[in-house]
Each structure stands twice: as C-alpha cells, then as structure tokens.
Amino acid sequence: MEKEKTVPSLGENKMGVMPVGRLLASMAIPMMISMMVQAFYNVVDSVFVSRLSENALNAVSLAFPLQNLTIAVGVGTAVGMNALLSRSLGEKNQEMVDRSANTGIFLALCNFVAFALIGIFLSRPFFQVQTDVQEIVDYGTDYATICLGCSLGLFCQLCFERLLQSTGRTGLAMVTQLVGAVTNIILDPILIFGLYGAPRLEVAGAAVATVVGQTVGAVLALVLNFTNNHEIHIKPTMIRWHGRVVGEIYRVGLPSIVMQSISSVMTFGINQILIAFSTTATAVFGAYFKLQSFIFMPVFGLNNAMVPIISYNYGAVRPERVRRTVRLSVISATCIMICGVLLFELLPQQLLLFFDASEHMLTIGVPALRIIAVHFLLAGFCIVAGSVCQAIGNPMYSLIVSVCRQLVVLLPVAWVLSRFGELMLVWLAFPVAELVSLILSSIFLRRTMVSAEASMAARQAS
C-alpha cells in the first residue's frame, strides 16, 4: 500500500500529499455548506412565490426543465474543464492547465449567448405547450425570460468557481456561492412583494433576485481567481476557441450535460403525466424538487470535492489515494441520504407547509414524499459512482446509467402506472428506476476502477 505523505513536497498541490480523509473533508465540507445554501435559496424562491398563489408556484415549477437545461450546460462545461485542469495539474502540464482555464471561460461566454436567445424567443411557447392557464403562462414567461436572458452571471459563476475547486481552493469557492446566495435571499422578498419602496415584481422579482445573486457571485469568483489562484493564469489573449482543448473538455463534459438535460426531459414528461390528474399534483412535484435539493446538494458538493482529487491522483499515478477517495465518498454520500430518508418519512407535512400547502396539496403530497424518498437510500452510491467514472475518463458509463434511469425506466413506468388512474402509483416509478440505476452503476464503477488500476500500473512500470 502506498504510504501517504503528510508534508508537501516542493511545488506539490495538497491534493497529492494531504492524507485523503482530511483532504476530502477539508475540500468537501465548504462545498457541502455552500451547496446547502444554494438549496436554501432555491427553496426560498418557491416559498415566497407560493405566497402569491398556487399558479405562481406552478409557473416556477414548470420553468424548471428550461432552467435546469441552462444549468446543465454550464455545469457540464465546468465539469469537463475541471477534470482536464486537475489532471493536467497532476501531470505538471502548466500549458494545458492554462489552456483549459481560458478555453473554459470562452465556452461559458458562448453558452450565455445561446441561452439568452432561447430565453428571449422561446420562453412563452415553452409554457403554452404545457398549459392553457394564462396566469401560469404569463408568470412563467417573465421568470424564464429573465433567468435565461440574463444568464451571463450563472455561466461565469459556474466557470470561475470550478477554477477555484480544480486547484483545491474549495473554501474560496464556498465564499463566492455564499455571497451570491445571500444576495438572492435578501432581494427575493424585496422584489417579489415590493418592500422598502422597491417595485412589486411578483414572480419576475424572484428571477431578478436570482440573476443579481449569480452576477455578484461571478464577479467575486473572478476576483478571487486573480488574487489567490496562482496555479492558473487567466489571459485575455487565450480566451478563445482551441479545438483540441474543447474536445477534451466536452469528452467529459458532454455526457454530464446530456445527463442533466435528461433530467429536464424527465421533469417535463412527469409534469405532463401529473397535470392530467391536477395542477396541484404538479405543484407537489415542484415542491418535492425544491425540498430534495437539501438532500442531494450536499452530495453534489461532496462530488465537486471528490472529482479533482481523483483526477489529480489518477494523473499523478497514485492508485491507493484514488481508491481511498472513492470509498470515503461512497460512505459519506450514503450517510447523507439516510438522513434525507428519515426527514422525508417523518416530517413530510411540515416540509410541504413551507409552501403554504392547501389541504388538497397535503393529501397528495404527504404520501408522495414518503414514497419517492425511498430511492434516496440507493441514490448516494449511484451519484458518486457516476462522478468517479467521469473523473477517471469514462463519462459514457454515467450517461448510460442516466438515460436508462430517467428515460428508459422512470418515464415509461410512471406513464404505465398513471393508466390505472391512481396518482399514488405514479410515485412508485422513482424507487423502481433507482434500483435499475444501482445495478448499472455497480457494474460500471467496477469496470472503471479495474481499467484505472491497469492504466496506472502500466504508467508506473514505464
């Protein structure tokens, strides 16, 4: 077994020398805290909006697939950049480190332009396809147009935060997320309800608060990269298209984008199945998605810390550190998910009352939350397994699992169960789909680890 170093060698990043347990904790805890704050402000948006009306909550819920698609592209691009940059750091390839960072910034700017056009021209048709309730269409159009049309802050924040994470500076990344989230939380009630002399913007106010918070976080993240992240050199002349680097970024990032985009397709499809029962059913699903972020966001924060550690040590040929990082991440994610199951099983009514739930919404929502939460027990392992595959360079495995879980199993099973005319049966599709995901994730994680061990052994031998 490789003996872990406790004192950094000259020029060595802490990801290659600090004991793995302490390293993962030091990088993951700040990210988990910041992701919890992100989850909190996502929920706060909906909590305040629900005080306007159930239609307002429905508008924000139905906007989720479009908003999630924007986040999917931003996060996927940043994940690919992060993995390539961390691996290049481990290989001591400074030229590729800088090219990765600057090309990632260029791609973030391109993504903003594309989604601004989508938000401006396609928001209203998107809602008109889903419902004929005019108030929902109007609220939703305002919300999506602002969130996508002003998404420069989102794409830049994701990019600059991942630059900090890729070199192990997760504490600084946490600060940028906290500042952006707190800005959003403060502005939400002021702009939604018109407090302190501000105009009453209602649902549009939630969108404005969101983009302002993202922009503040992006500016701070950029400043911190210039002042504290000396392993990366951001140069305006290098912020341009570089074909080989773009290819490497999207070799890992594209499957991540597709996986999260599939979530948008799944959410859109489930909403269409549920709205056939009632608009309240879609409101319950929207509330669930906000609530479950409190459970999943810490796991995603753990993943954000885990990916650069694995990528770095894989590039530096340190197999024992890779194995130990995977083990600790799986254990930690599973513990988080167990806490989530207990919360949803024991306090579903209290959770729904945050959204000013009516008696009808509680009647539908309480059993829904308890049924859906069962799949949390399996989801922690599946999330970590997928990220390990991405970090080591087998992103197609994660893509296959995601497609099978959400499109091949979840949507068809939900549709079949809905044919029985019982809404409660639809929620069973979630644990069924997660069981399939667990089986596939176990197979692919084992294959990835065996392949990685062989690759590192070959490089050690040479």
Q: For residue 424, what pLDDT is reported?
A: 94
Contact 383, 391 (CB under 8 A): no
- Ranked by mean pLDDT, the top range of 91-100, 343-352, 354-363 is 343-352
User: pLDDT at residue 108 above 80?
Assistant: yes
Query: How many domains in the chain?
Result: 1
Q: For residue 5, what pLDDT is reported?
A: 42
Q: For residue 7, what pLDDT is reported?
A: 40
Amino acid at 119: G
Is residue 131 one of the residues assigned to a domain? Answer: yes
% of the chain surpassing 70 pLDDT:
97
pLDDT band at 209 (very low <50, low <70, confident <90, very high): very high
Q: Which alpha helices (H) appear in 316-410, and where do they start and end?
A: 319-346, 348-353, 359-372, 376-392, 395-403
User: Tokens 């608009």 identify what position?
Assistant: 279
% of the chain surpassing 90 pLDDT:
58
SS (H, E, C) 20-85: HHHHHHHHHHHHHHHHHHHHHHHHHHHHHHHCCCHHHHHHHHHHHHHHHHHHHHHHHHHHHHHHHH
Spatial CB neighbours of 192, under 8 Å, sequence gap ≥ 6: 48, 49, 52, 200, 201, 202, 203, 205, 206, 209
For residue range 145-192, what is the model confidence (pLDDT) as tens digits?
999 999 999 999 999 999 998 887 878 888 998 899 889 999 999 999
User: pLDDT at residue 65 above 90?
Assistant: no
Is residue 416 one of the residues assigned to a domain? Answer: yes
For residue range 278-313, what is the model confidence (pLDDT) as tens digits?
989 998 998 998 899 889 988 988 988 898 888 888
Is residue 163 one of the residues assigned to a domain? Answer: yes
Q: For residue 10, what pLDDT is reported?
A: 42
Is residue 4 one of the residues assigned to a domain? Answer: no
Q: For residue 364, what pLDDT is reported?
A: 95
Is residue 5 one of the residues assigned to a domain? Answer: no
Give mean pLDDT, residues 199-223: 96
Contact 369, 423 (CB under 8 A): no
Q: For residue 3, what pLDDT is reported?
A: 43
Q: What is the Cα–Cα distance from 301 to 324, expressed in whole angstroms?
A: 18
Q: For residue 12, what pLDDT is reported?
A: 61
Q: What is the CB neighbour count within 10 angstroms for residue 241?
A: 10
Is residue 6 one of the residues assigned to a domain? Answer: no
pLDDT band at 11 (very low <50, low <70, confident <90, very high): low
Mean pLDDT of the chain: 89
Contact 259, 396 (CB under 8 A): no
For residue range 25-40, what is the model confidence (pLDDT) as tens digits?
888 888 788 778 777 7
pLDDT band at 213 (very low <50, low <70, confident <90, very high): very high
Is residue 9 one of the residues assigned to a domain? Answer: no
Is residue 8 one of the residues assigned to a domain? Answer: no
- The residue segments making up the domain with residue 294 are 16-461
Helix (H) or strand (E) holding 432: helix 429-461
